[in-house]
Amino acid sequence: MVDIQKVSILGKESIHCGFHLIPYIVQTVLKTLPSSAYVLVTDTNVASLYLGAFTTEFNSALANSESRFLSYAVAPGESVKSRDGKAEIEDFLLANTCTRDTVILALGGGVIGDLVGFVAATFMRGVKFIQIPTTLLAMVDSSVGGKTAIDTPHGKNLIGAFWQPEYIFIDAAFLETLPAREFSNGMAEVVKTAAIWNESDFALLESRSEEIFTAIQTPSSNSSGREKSTRSTAQDLLLRVIIGSISVKSHIVTVDERETGLRNLVNFGHTIGHAIEAILTPTILHGECVSIGMIFEAEIARQMGVLGQVAVGRLTRCLKAYNLPVSINDPRIARVPAAKLITVDRLLDIMKIDKKNSGPVKKIVILSRIGATYEQKATGVADSVITKILSEACKVIPGIPSHDPVRMATPGSKSISNRALLLAALGTGTCRLKNLLHSDDTQVMMNALIELQGATFAWEDGGETIVVTGGGGSLSVPAKGKEVYLGNAGTAARFLATVCTLVQPAPTRTVITGNARMKQRPIGPLVDALRANGSEIDYLESQGCLPLSITPAGLKGSRIQLAASVSSQYVSSILLCAPYALEPVILELTGGQVISQPYIDMTIAMMKTFGVDIVRKTDPETGKLLDIYEIPHAVYKNPPEYNIESDASSATYPLAIAAITGTTCTIPNIGSASLQGDARFAKDVLEPMGCKVVQTETETTVTGPPIGQLKALGYVDMEPMTDAFLTASVLAAVAIGTPHPGRELSDAPNNTTRILGIANQRVKECNRIRAMIDQLAKFGVETKELDDGLEVYGKPIPELKTGVSVHCYDDHRVAMAFSVLGTVIKETVLEEKRCVEKTWPNWWDDLENKIGLKVEGVELHDSHSSGSLSSPAIVETPSVVISGMRGSGKTHIGELAALSLGWPFLDADHYFEEKYQIGIKEFVAKNSWPAFREAETETLKKLLKDYSAKHVISLGGGIVETPAARDVLEVYSKKGPVVHIVRDIEEIVTYLGAETARPAYGEPIEDVYTRRAPWYAEVCNYKFSNNTKSGPDPKAVAQEVSRFFKHVTGQSPNHPANLAKGKKSYFLSLTYPDINLALPHINEITTGVDALELRVDLLRDQDSFDKIGSYVPSKVYVTNQLATLRLATSLPIVFTIRTVSQGGSFPDAAEAEAFELFDLAVRAGVEYIDVEISWSAKCISGLISKKGQAKVIASWHDWSGKLAWDGTEVMQKYQDADKFGDIVKIVGKANTLEDNFTLHSFVKKVTAASGSKPVLAINMGVVGQMSRILNSTFSPVTHPLLPNKAAPGQLSFREIQTALNLIGQLPTQKHYLFGTPISHSPSPTLHNTGFETLGLPHKYEILETKEVGEQIKAAITAPEFGGASVTIPFKLDVIPLLDSLSPEAKLIGAVNTIVPVVKPDGSKTLHGDNTDWRGIREAILSKLPTKITQPGAGLIIGAGGTSRAAIYALQSLGTKKIYLFNRTRSSAQALVDAFPDAKVELVENLGNWSGPSPTIVVSTVPAQATSIEQNVAESMYLPESVFEAHSGVVVDMAYKPAETPLLTLAKTVGKGWQCVKGVEVLLEQGYVQFELWTGRRAPREVIAEAVLKKYESS
Ligand SMILES: NC(=O)c1ccc[n+]([C@@H]2O[C@H](COP(=O)([O-])OP(=O)(O)OC[C@H]3O[C@@H](n4cnc5c(N)ncnc54)[C@H](O)[C@@H]3O)[C@@H](O)[C@H]2O)c1
Ligand SMILES: [Zn+2]
């Protein structure tokens, strides 16, 4: 008999639940809903799994009937839930002449339910319909309640109807095929429903997540579960959970069908969740967003003082147990590009249009505890409260705590909580545990003890008190087949391992297990000790780790020996269980040094409170304590109440607030009797700072001195309380009083606090000593780092800087410590407020609600730009490590990399020699190679730790010989780039030749090279080819080094700006067998494009040049080809391997080879990799997991000509590609022009959602050319100079621009030059040549006017205006006409470029920029040797407008000193004043330098006004001493003549000097201007040729 459980809704038992119901569904429908036609609508995914079964069942039942069965499958995914999707189904129904009596069945997820339900609601004015949900979300949520809807581009679910189904059939067996992520998605709603309505359901979900997962992961064969008798426990549980959830929703819907109040409750988590979803859809699923929303909304409830932290914690852990994200910082969320768009303002904006709102007040469902809400409807919440919770950062408003004197408990100590829970569970009687810290450990321990039937637990005070009814040590083996799952809770695992030996004898065994991480954590010493004592424990997987299988036989007791040098938790585990052993226990700790004795003492002390006294033995002769403990046979007696001591480190913050604000704070459950070291903070730190401290055994009260009167501490050893040093440091920052007598330091000023004994704090969540130093520096507080501590020099509070933004390093202690400082220093922003979650999740609420200081949310703008001046180096950008053979060019490349990144360069060998004060060679001679390798590895570790961010670290070549060093590097490569520098071995041999500085190998270098090659491959995640054989141009090398390192470090990834939405990007397909063939024309053929596609499958080396057919090029060849291409261009590369079946020539079966080549590409820092979606999922996900900065183009090509752009297959392919690609590429073939338009609508549809990925979609064939013209992402183009097109129908960049212009997609623009006199200007030649070369239809012309008047105004406001150059004398006069200025233009005070900016709404604004300085800068850079940075001194001659740009250019190059010479001093002084940061110095006489002589000279005065002869009237004399330095670069801005007096002088006297002519600068600034207007690289060579030709002829 089918077992059906029915749930009633709206007074009808229409929800039928069970397993394997298909036959039951068909029979029930046919029997109770007679009709002429039954139409089942589903999606193709579900159809492929279940449609067959339905069809068979219907057809056989209808065999002799007039009625018809029809089915229809639409594309899967949200996009079908549209007007088009609805029409598609309606057309099907009409075409099949379905009539008013049709019964429609919706088989599928929520998409199908919503869509088909809406069709049913309006088809023939409404027909009967049936919901057969197949996703969990649909079962528990969307199918229940009668809401149906479709989406429009304006938003989701905006059009729909209430239409109740006749039946809802819940067949939980469908869930067995559902992807795990979709299951979790549904669980979010299940958890939500329990959270608002039913605590016992919630407890079930909380404790049995593992089993619930098992139920869907174990396929039920032979329809098992259909009948009660064949149903497994897991299936029972699953159904119970689903029905529980449905019942709640049905009840609510029945009471409030049309959503007027109560029904709002099911929107818990949805107000904020929907807002997040609006931004992240479709990448992140509804349930995932709601999960995050629930946590935010629960935090709002907590902030309002309505909900306790315990409940928030339970909710968080429960959602996590179902693999749901609980914060927007979850890596799954953070790595979605659209996640960057989540800002508080944006979320609030979206929330404005929530249906629940009444007027401007936002409504949120507020929980009051697990299982109940604050009101029977959503509650109005002020925006300020929502903002506070949503903000990433916050600030404390300084003031006096309004609750002074404060009395508050702080979170319970974790170690005490774990022990107390176990003791109470093992004891007899009832114990009320107060202030328990809820953590994974306590949660897991409770679940396990319930399963072992060892104790029962209940909550009181809304979860604040937990009532434990102890089982007196009686425990049973869990139900058959039931394993005790401990997740990753380490303490719980260690404590419970011994507990399980206590279980009463039984025929089955107890199994404890955990997650993957737990299965690696050691437990060997404890198991050894228990086994030696007679317990039978087996390892089920790895030796020494969980899972364990334990025979229940009781603990034997008597003598137990335990190795205790690894973890004191093993000791505590045995001690806690020992009283229940069969015989009294004598525990002897072996293995030398016992670790963490204080924790052992804590266990013993707590056992005593629960009535069991332990004796620690002493040596009768010496009286010394021994590591031997005697534990009597006994039973714990539970005290009626046990107050868990506060965590002493946490307590330091409220106490410090009392100290700094001159108020009083009492912490009632921590005092002098505490076993926690940090409990001494009040007496040892606060009292000597001038606070009044009263401490009893169990309570601590601190009263601070009046504000500003804290005393410096002098010397303090904080070894016993290292965690509290951060709190001490912030107090020391404002402690100016002379230390107490006896504490003064003889060697430091009186405002010094010297904290020692805290070296271990360098390896906590962050390097905390550095963190304090860096963050205190932002307040203007000086400090000094010491070997095992630091010194802080106090300052009066008013002298500390306000408005500081504190970076918290994701470290709770940094955040809480600086919030103490924030109570007296205005506008102190704590950047990552959430990091307090680790120990005190409700710290900010407590600060407000219990201490009485206001906290406000702060939204950080641009928090991730490392360049922001106020907070340098906020983001931890991992250092680059460079490795490779000796002589491979590590130093050369490393230094260039460091230069381009602006990071310091560190040579590990030098570092080593400095550290050991001995050369490496000598070290080896003195101590042997192994000793050196060991020391080298240690040095490596230290280097990587001390210089973990923003350094370039070059390693010795032999370091990979040491396995330990390889391990270190491999671990590092998971977070930062480790780059292998490779150079041809012959080149290395030649280069090393006579070199002797480093130890010789004593074997041929070639052998060393071969031996080390695999090791380099293993430890390095990138590979840089240092190709020296061809004698490359040093500038090209420097440029490639810069591209490579900026890319792989993520500092400035080489991705084109034109990929952005609304822009058009192109790549050129290189179809050469050998890239060298392309090099002569590389600039010409790449004109206009944004990237180059390297068709790897077409590459052929010399020997296989004319091989046709399928072929795999060698890795060496591909590597060399890439390296060659890189030196010729810095355009991003698209690395494509096209297989034969997809139109290329790579063998379809060579998957392994293809992925080896992809790996090579990732290592080479390739920007884009084209990966066909038909490769195996395993290989693809392997590639994705290590792609680094590379982006993946997921591609699909259909050459058949049958791909219908409005069909389901293409949607399926799109979804497959969207899963892993950063860009989706789909290529079909056009048969008619219309195919291109269907393609276009397809692209518009899938890219409509915000956050959708760029799509490259084209049709092949000549008929498909229109699609290439309209495509906007990476259109593949060819060039007339290429040997053959990569694909039929390919167009050139120029052709596409022309076509776009013709079809009205690229209107002709007008550009101008404003100024006078300008008739001879080369600018028109410059820009028109550029436009012409790119095939752009734009025109540039001269507009010469006397003043900035009506003519210019008319030109710049005309719709066709595309941009203008501005020259003398209008560079200042145009400014009032502009809407905005670039920072440079502002600083220089002049505009030479006007750029119209089109906003998304189509409106235009005018932006002013200045490219003169860029022209000067680029011209100088092109002549400077690659390794010069920060020139020592520069000279600028003249003080007009151009000089301003020159100063800015020199400043941007980092010039240390700038001399300025001008004949009139006053105008020169004005310039100096305008650039206070540039350190400009006026020069009285040329040649009279106050510092180094200039190596860069820029003249801005007209050539006629200068002379190299002395005493020429009206002329400025240029002495030879201008070129005193032995080399440099001189720029003469004068445009005519080509050879100015200054340049002539340079040529004659300055041998090492390079000259830059005015026309060269003009060109450079023109290129920049061109790029600002067109968004494309200027075709420099062509332009330069045309301009110079004109220049020379005039
Ligand atoms: N009407 C309501 O009250 C309500 C409530 C919540 C959500 N919704 C709507 O529900 C939709 C989301 O529903 P969903 O999460 O079920 O998404 P969905 O319908 O898109 O299904 C998710 C994916 O799982 C596949 N799938 C479905 N059942 C499967 C099975 N048994 N085995 C393998 N694959 C299976 C589908 O083909 C699809 O790819 C949204 O449109 C949302 O607006 C409606
Ligand atoms: Zn929902």
Among the bound ligands, the one closest to the CA of 150? 1
Atom of ligand 1 nearest to the CA of 145: 3
Is residue 199 a contact partner of residue 371, using CB atoms and an 8 Å limit?
A: yes
Ligand 1 in contact with 147 (CB < 6 A)?
yes
Q: Is 138 in the pocket of ligand 1 (CB under 6 A)?
A: yes
Tell me what pLDDT residue 873 has.
Answer: 33
DSSP letters, 453-494, are T-EEEEEEGGGTEEEEEE-TT---PPSTTPPEE-TT-HHHHH
pLDDT in tens, 1070-1099: 888 899 888 888 988 999 999 999 999 999
Nearest listed ligand to the Cα of residue 285: 1
pLDDT at 734: 95
Do the bridges between strand 1393-1398 and strand 1404-1409 make them parallel or antiparallel, or are there none, so unpaired?
Answer: antiparallel
Of 362, 890, 951, 1225, which is the active-site residue? 1225
Query: Which atom belonging to ligand 1 lies closest to the Cα atom of 144?
Result: 3
What does the alpha-carbon distance between residue 571 and residue 594 come to, in Å, rounded to a whole number? 10
Give the distance, in angstroms, between the CA of residue 378 and the centroid of all CA atoms in the same chain: 33
Gap from CA of 137 to ligand 2 centroid (Å): 8
For the Cβ of 46 lying below 6 angstroms from any atom of ligand 1, the answer is: yes
According to the model, what pLDDT value does residue 861 have? 63
- Identify the DSSP state of 955: P
Q: How confident is the model at residue 875 (pLDDT cuts 50, 70, 90)?
A: very low
pLDDT at res. 1356: 94
Mutate to test the pocket of ligand 1, among 131, 182, 185 (most ligand atoms within 8 A of CB): 182
pLDDT-based confidence at 1286, cuts 50/70/90? Answer: low
3-class secondary-structure state, position 755? strand
DSSP 32-101: HS--SEEEEEEEHHHIIIIIHHHHHHHHHHTTTSS-EEEEEEEPSSGGGSSHHHHHHHHHHHHHTT--TT
Compute the average pLDDT of residues 600-620. Answer: 93
What atom in ligand 1 is closest to the CA of residue 177? Answer: 32
Give one DSSP letter per residue of 412-456, joined into a string.
BPHHHHHHHHHHHHHSBSEEEEESPPP-HHHHHHHHHHHHTT-EE
Among candidate residues 500, 665, 691, 835, the one labeled active-site is 835
Kind of pairing, strands 548-550 and 583-590?
A: unpaired
In short, whether 249's Cβ falls inside 6 Å of ligand 1 is no
Q: What percent of the chain has pLDDT over 90?
A: 53
* pLDDT above 50: residue 1272: yes
Is position 835 annotated as part of the catalytic site? yes
661-675, 1244-1258, 1263-1277, 1324-1338: least confidently modelled range? 1244-1258
Residue of 1164 and 1427 predicted with greater confidence? 1164
Whether the per-residue pLDDT at 994 is higher than 70: the answer is no
pLDDT in tens, 190-247: 999 999 998 889 988 988 888 888 888 888 888 899 999 999 888 999 999 999 999 9
**Half-sphere exposure at residue 704, Cβ-oriented, CA atoms within 13 angstroms:** 27
Query: Pocket of ligand 1, candidates 142, 284, 1218: which has the most ligand atoms within 8 Å of its Cβ, to mutate?
Result: 142
Instruction: Give bridge partners of residue 783 from the DSSP assignment.
Output: 792
CA–centroid distance, residue 77 to ligand 2 (Å): 17
Of the candidates 20, 274, 850, 1047, the residue annotated as catalytic is 274
Q: How far is CA 849 from CA 400, 404, 464, 648, 841, in A?
A: 14, 12, 17, 20, 14
The predicted model gives 1129-1137 an average pLDDT of: 94
Which of these, 1263, 1261, 1258, lies nearest to 1273 by C-alpha position?
1258
Protein residue whose Cα sits closest to atom 33 of ligand 1:
178
Per DSSP bridges, beta strands 557-563 and 583-590 are parallel
Indicate if ligand 1 lies below 6 Å from the C-beta of 139: no
What's the 499 CA to ligand 2 centre distance in angstroms? 42
Among candidates 125, 112, 175, 128, which has minimal Cα distance to 30? 128
pLDDT at 866 over 50: no
Instruction: Work out the angle at residue 781's Cα, subtended by the Cα atoms of residues 778 and 784, and round it to the nearest 5 degrees.
Output: 110
Closest residue to atom 18 of ligand 1, CA basis = 109
Assess whether 808 carries a catalytic annotation: no
Dist. CA 370 → ligand 2 center (Å): 18
- What pLDDT, on the 0 to 100 scale, is given for residue 1524? 86
Task: Note whether 74 and 1208 are within 8 A (CB).
Answer: yes
- Shortest CA distance to 554 belongs to which of 528, 583, 529? 583
The token duo for 1313 is 């030059």
Q: What percent of the chain has pLDDT over 70?
A: 97
pLDDT surpasses 70 at 1489: yes
Give tens-digit pLDDT for 1439-1459.
887 888 999 999 888 888 899
Q: Which of 611-620, 1286-1295, 1391-1400 has the lowest mean pLDDT?
A: 1286-1295
Backbone phi and psi for residue 333, each to the nearest 5 degrees, phi listed first: -85, -45
Nearest ligand 1 atom to alpha carbon 1215: 39
Q: Read out DSSP for 1373-1426?
A: TTGGG-SEE-HHHHHHT---EEEEEE-TTS-EEEEEE--HHHHHHHHHHHHS-T
Give the tens place of pLDDT for each residue, 1183-1223: 988 888 899 999 999 888 888 898 888 888 998 899 889 99
Q: Which residues contact 796 (CB under 8 A, 6 or more apart)?
A: 708, 734, 736
Establish whether residue 157 lines the binding site of ligand 1, counting it when its CB lies within 6 angstroms of any ligand atom: yes
Q: What per-residue confidence (pLDDT) applies to 190?
A: 95
Kindly state if the Cβ of 303 falls inside 6 Å of ligand 1: no
Q: Is the pTM of this model over 0.75?
A: no
The number of residues in the chain equals 1594
Of the segments 109-118, 299-308, 542-551, which one has the largest average pLDDT value? Answer: 109-118
Residue with the nearest Cα to atom 42 of ligand 1?
A: 110
At residue 604, the pLDDT reads: 95
Long-range contacts of 1005-1008 (CB under 8 A, 24+ apart): 1005/885, 1008/885
Residue 114 has pLDDT above 80, yes or no: yes
> Residue 40 phi/psi, 5° resolution?
-100, 125
pLDDT (0 to 100) of residue 876 = 65
Count of Cβ atoms closer than 10 Å to residue 1575 Cβ: 15
The pLDDT value given to residue 3: 93
| pLDDT for residue 751 | 92
Instruction: pLDDT band for 272, please (50, 70, 90 cuts).
Output: very high
Query: 880 pairs with which residues across the strands?
Result: 952
Cα dihedral 1417/1420/1424/1429 (nearest 10) = -30
Model pLDDT, residue 200: 87
Number of neighbouring beta carbons within 10 Å of residue 593: 9
**Whether the CB of 49 sits within 6 Å of ligand 1:** yes
874: confidence class by pLDDT, cuts 50, 70, 90: very low
Residue 274 annotated in active site = yes
pLDDT, tens digit, for every residue of 1145-1176?
Answer: 899 989 999 999 999 999 999 999 999 998 98
Question: Could you tell me the CA-to-CA distances from 1105 to 1082, 1099, 1108, 1160, 1214 in Å, in that order?
Answer: 21, 8, 9, 22, 36
- What tokens were used for 960? 């990979």
- The band of 1479, judged by pLDDT with boundaries at 50, 70 and 90, is confident
Per-residue tokens: 991: 């280069």
Note the pLDDT of residue 1513: 74
Q: Two tokens at 842?
A: 């409700």
For residue 641, how many other CB atoms are within 10 A of its CB?
A: 11
Residue 1124 has which token pair?
Answer: 């060659």
Residue 882's pLDDT is what?
A: 94
Ligand nearest to the CA of 186: 1
8 A C-beta contact, residue 178 and residue 76: no
| DSSP for residue 637 | B
Q: Quote the tokens at residue 737.
A: 């009083």
Please tell me if the CB atom of residue 112 comes closer than 6 angstroms to any atom of ligand 1. yes
Identity at 1031, one-letter amino acid code:
G
Ligand 1 pocket test, candidate residues 134, 141, 151, most atoms within 8 A of CB: 134
**Which of 45, 81, 143 to mutate to test ligand 1, by most ligand atoms within 8 A of the CB atom?**
45
Cα 379 to averaged position of ligand 1 atoms, centre (Å): 29
**What pLDDT sits at residue 863?**
40
639 touches ligand 1 (CB under 6 Å) = no
CA-nearest residue, atom 44 of ligand 1:
142
Helices (H), 1303-1369: 1323-1334, 1350-1357
- For residue 346, the CA-to-ligand 1 centroid distance in Å is 27
Query: From the CB of 165, is ligand 1 less than 6 Å away?
Result: no
Q: Which of 1197, 1371, 1457, 1557 is catalytic?
A: 1197
44 lines ligand 1 (CB under 6 A): no
pLDDT at residue number 869: 29
- Which of 137, 192, 256, 1208 best tests ligand 1's pocket when mutated (most atoms within 8 Å of CB)? 137
pLDDT for 700 beyond 80:
yes
pLDDT grade for 676, boundaries at 50, 70 and 90: confident
The residue whose C-alpha atom lies closest to atom 10 belonging to ligand 1 is 110
Residue position matching structure tokens 């791909």: 1203
712-771: per-residue pLDDT in tens? 999 999 988 888 999 999 999 999 999 988 888 888 889 999 999 888 787 666 788 989
In the prediction, which pLDDT does 259 show?
67
Residue 185 CB–ligand 1 contact under 6 Å: yes
Read off the DSSP letter of residue 517.
Answer: T
Measured distance CA(171)–CA(20) in Å, rounded: 6
Sequence-distant (≥ 6) Cβ neighbours of residue 293 within 8 angstroms: 269, 270, 271, 272, 273, 274, 275, 276
Whole-number Å distance between alpha carbons of 625 and 1203: 83
Residues 536-546: tens digit of each pLDDT: 999 998 888 89
Taking residues 337-355, report their average pLDDT: 82
Assess whether the C-beta atom of 263 lies below 6 angstroms from ligand 1: no
Average pLDDT, the chain: 89
If pLDDT is split at 50, 70 and 90, which confidence band does 872 have? very low
Residue 977 in contact with ligand 1 by CB distance below 6 A: no
